[in-house]
Amino acid sequence: MGKNHFIQVLVMLFLSIGSPLLAQNTVTLKSLLQEMVDRSERASFPNPSFTCGQRSSTDPQTVAKDKPFWYGNHDCTNFLRVDSTTTIKEYVLLDEKGPGAIVRFWSTFAGEDSGKGTLRFYFDGSKVASIEGNAKKLLSGGELVGKPLAMGLSVLSNPKQWGHNLYFPLPYQSGCKITYQSDKISLKDRHGVEPGHEAIFYNINFRSYEKGTKVETYSATEFKKNSKLIESVLQQLTKQEKGLELLKLNNLALDMVLLQGDSKTLTIKGSQAIRHLALQLEAAHQEQALRSTVLEIKFDGERTIWTPIGDFFGIGYKQLYTNTWYMSASKDGMMDAYWVMPFKEKCEITIHNYGKETVKINNAKVQYNNWKWDDRSMHFGVSWHQYTNISTGRDKNLNWEEVGGPFDINFVTLQGKGVYVGDAICLFNGDYAWWGEGDEKVYVDGETFPSHLGTGSEDYYGYAWGRPETIVDHPFIAQPDGSGSVAPGFVQNTRLRALDGIPFNNSLIFDMELWHHFSTLINYAPITYWYILPGGISKIAEDTASVKHQVALKREDIISQKMTISVEAENMAVLDLGGERVFYNHYNIDYKDIWSNSAQLFWQTTHKGKKLELSFESVYNDTYNLEMLCTTHPAYGKINIYVNGRLAAANVNLSRKKISVIPVALGRFPIALGVNKITIEIVDFAEGCQQGNVGIDKLVFTK
């Protein structure tokens, strides 16, 4: 056996049985790294105790729920203060006092050639930085530590659009200050849009230990002393090593067949801990079965887990590939979870089939072993629910008055004592626009203002700029499918917490702003992961209605095209984009009163002769006189309109000085039961315009 391999196995053995190093009073780089990869430690309330806080570049105008700018979105280049000397100017991102540790640092940058300023970490009041270097290289370039503890996401996107994630723990005894120095920062141009300027977005999570806790402050010497351990941890997190082979485990088979409405329960007795739960689900309609098949677990008579199978394993209702430190799934249907789930006397595992089809659970097992229950031991909990066909309101970019603007979605409300250890969102986006402008808001132990307030949903989940590229094979972050990021479609985002778990003594409320750029309908299902001492509860009730609801696989599943006497153009399905941009529910506060439903469909193309193909679904089979209500505008072009492939109106000029809606008679057409097509062809651009712009309000039918 090689020396490095021996050390790695020894470390894994310590972690599997509970290393005595974790029981010592001093917090060190070594103890934090060991804690990071010790899944068992998650299941015990922290000792020494700490709180988890956050500092971010969030909009400083966000001060209270009953004040303006509660949903403020100027979330960049905001600092605690500026420290200046005769030679340099440093922007202070964080300045914490007392014993603690930096446990997560996320950042992204805007502006040409940005993120190359100097990032500095000062510990214990020292005027000399212990860590100093190029910001991007420190956070994700390997200058401090390697992947995955320092990594840019998504690696498939342009590096300029990465979220930079540093998970390497940095402990300190009496304080930590983090600064950024760049001559490109302008507090008058906070968004870095002017040439030569840059903007910085950041979220920093830190632990604050109880007074009197002894902490060994990070130093280059400590790094060197623990270099072999650091390398071992990097390997474990990269390979997602589970360490089960080092444990003596009992096995309980879970294979079963569930008919419609069936439920089956299996029981484990004694003081034990589940270490591994695995299964493969098989059904005729796999997507629906992943949502309609529910896992329920009671520990010592208390139900703390109730969630659809697919959501539990971090894939929502699509059979996707994902691989994190706590759970994984493969496209062939195998799903595994490695959360440690202890109980004192009894565990009851129930699988329900709320769907209409037979479901087979194959290759399924629970692996468990003995657990010494004590006063720190906690039950594992998972809460899930869906906000179905929820309206996102109007275009928030044009809605600074906050009338009909963003709103807070409750992920979970917990009562009791425990630790919040992660969450995920499974959603279906109803429009061609970014869905996640909103920030997380976490209230701990009765706080009236959240101690965690971020800069955007994608920032919270570790990437940046609303990118659709996949994120897999990271221990704590996943986006196995982001295809619905800026288009109608499916999205799955996951963030799992190790050292950045959030302890609470009485309560925790996790809210997320739902801030979509456009007004549309969306299915939005959050799941949360947490540990809680016996007697603690989640206020999220079982949501049987939502698990029975048909999952959305296409836009028409959540936005009806069915015609009555008219059909809104923004509700039509796009069959062929034909151009660069389609904005469903295009909203402008200055013109909202001229459009039906306060919205229109807007299309833009840079090529004459391009066609936009739309469809609507008729519930009738009859002949109608058709009229299309179109928007006029000085920059709108000239169009042809086709109904089911037949020319209905030619050379319709929408270029007018006055912005209004005009009726365009299309003539008498047979409308078939089911799907019918509308085609818009751009004939010419408005004078002085380099592209063709078209706005359609709705289609009207009369007998």
Strand, helix or coil for residue 360? strand
pTM greater than 0.75 (yes/no): yes
- Polymer length in residues for the chain: 703
Q: Which residue has the tokens 């072993």?
A: 369
H helices of 118-254, in order, are 135-140, 220-225, 227-239
Per residue in 495-507, pLDDT (tens digit) is 999 999 999 999 9
Token reading at 48:
């020494």
The answer to whether residues 314 and 329 touch, using CB atoms and an 8 Å cutoff, is yes
85-98 tens-digit pLDDT? 878 999 999 999 99
266 contacts 347 by C-beta, under 8 angstroms: no
The architecture of the domain spanning 3-36+76-239 is Sandwich (2.60)
Residues 190-213: what's their mean pLDDT? 94
> What is the rounded average pLDDT for all residues in the chain?
92
Token digits for 24? Answer: 């010592």
> What pLDDT shows up at residue 589?
59
pLDDT of residue 193: 86
Q: Are 304 and 349 in contact (CB under 8 A)?
A: no
Q: What is the mean pLDDT of residues 267-276?
A: 98
Q: Exposed e or buried b for every residue in 166-179, given b needs 16+ CB within 10 A?
A: bbbbbbbbebbbbb
The H or E element spanning position 12 is helix 3-17
d(CA 551, CA 546): 9
Looking at the predicted structure, is the pLDDT value of residue 200 above 70?
yes
Which regions of 232-345 does DSSP assign to beta strands (E)? 250-253, 256-258, 263-269, 272-282, 293-299, 302-308, 322-323, 327-329, 334-337, 341-343
- For residue 23, name the pLDDT band (cuts at 50, 70, 90): very low
Q: H helices within 525-581, ranges in order?
A: 544-548
pLDDT at 585: 61
What share of the chain in percent tops pLDDT 70?
Answer: 93
Check pLDDT > 80 for residue 17: no
Q: Which amino acid is at 691?
A: Q
Angle at 79 between CA 75 and CA 84, to 5 degrees: 150
Residue 588 confidence (pLDDT) above 80? no
Q: Is the peptide bond before 480 cis (omega within 30 degrees of 0)?
A: no
Q: Mean pLDDT, to the nearest integer, of 77-105?
A: 95
DSSP, collapsed to helix, strand or coil, labels residue 8 as helix
| Cβ neighbours for 513, distance < 8 A, ≥ 6 positions apart | 71, 406, 407, 408, 409, 437, 438, 439, 440, 441, 457
- C-alpha span between 323 and 607 (Å, rounded): 43
Distance of CA 518 to the CA centre of its chain: 18
The pLDDT of residue 254 is above 90? yes
CATH code for residues 244-556: 2.60.120.1390
Coil vs helix vs strand at 127: coil
Distance between CA 343 and CA 271 in Å, rounded?
6
Q: How far apart are CA 533 and CA 628, in angstroms?
A: 62
Mean pLDDT, residues 597-605: 88
Q: Is the pLDDT reported for residue 36 higher than 70? A: yes
Distance CA 543, CA 380 (A): 19
Q: Do domains 3-36+76-239 and 562-702 have the same CATH topology?
A: yes
Pick the range with the lowest mean pLDDT from 5-9, 180-184, 579-583. 5-9
The residue extents of the domains of the chain are 3-36+76-239, 244-556, 562-702
* pLDDT for the residue numbered 6: 40
Distance (Å, rounded) from C-alpha 179 to C-alpha 80? 10
Whether 8 shows a pLDDT value over 70: the answer reads no
Architecture of domain 562-702: Sandwich (2.60)
CB 229 within 8 A of CB 33: yes
User: Is 90 exceeded by the pLDDT of residue 220?
Assistant: yes
CA–CA separation, 501 vs 419, rounded Å?
6
* Interatomic CA distance for residues 74 and 395, integer angstroms: 16
| Count of helix runs (H) and strand runs (E) in the chain | 10, 47
Confidence of residue 300 (pLDDT cuts 50, 70, 90): very high
